[in-house]
Chain A
């Protein structure tokens, strides 16, 4: 199965700062099948990005996904208070579909 490794494990930033989250795959992932989710405390994961770079409905443009092959990135250009959460990448290229271990973005 494809193993996704997310880094860093946690990130302490201030509102207004830029967050850069990494997701590295153990083998190449077709770009159409890489997604990012946000999970706030006590809530279910929410789709942010699909197909590596397409924003889901209602997701603000400060969220940007990029990458190809085995290296993918989620960038949050200017952190808003509601963006402090855990972020997961997921590959749906090969079954079983797998998730990374998550990156926690916390307020400094």
Chain B
């Protein structure tokens, strides 16, 4: 059974870069899209972006200029880098597995990691 776990700093200073890693266990990374999402009281649930095992990416346009998602299948990991963070980036960050629907596009996110709280503050 696949499991995902996020790791990274719980506190990041404004204007700095937020780095997170998601470790995947229990399944191959092939044939899925590996995704980052976040949840904050102000903005609710927000999809950040995803990456395929081949490295194809799709980002939320609202964050695209600040986001990089990379994958390392040999380590069973994928990562998120969010640059120039501000207080509005304070949120619980989740990683999740994106599963294809019949049409060849992502149709659902399942499962999700437990989430990691990131606070942006000096």
Contacts and interface: CB of A to CB of B under 8 A. Distances in A.
Interface of A: 30, 32-33, 35, 43-47, 50-51, 56, 88, 90, 92, 95-99, 101-102
B94 interface: yes
Given A96-B60, A99-B44, A33 B107 contact: yes
Interface in B76-122: 94, 99, 101-103, 105-115
A96 B107 contact: no
A63 B109 CA distance: 18
Interface string B57-78: 0101110000000000000000
B46 interface: yes
Contacts of B105: 33, 92
Contact of B103 (A32, A35, A44, A97): A32
Interface residues of B, number: 24
Nearest to A50: B108
A101 B102 contact: no
Nearest to B4: A44
B62 A96 contact: yes
A92 B44 contact: no
B11 interface: no
B32 interface: no
B115 A92 contact: no
A50 B107 contact: yes
Given A32-B107, A33-B105, A96 B61 contact: yes
B60 A47 contact: no
Contacts of A95: 58, 60-61
Contacts of A30: 103
Given A44-B114, A45-B112, A56-B110, A32 B44 contact: no
A98 B60 CA distance: 10
Given A95-B58, A99-B44, A101-B44, A51 B110 contact: no
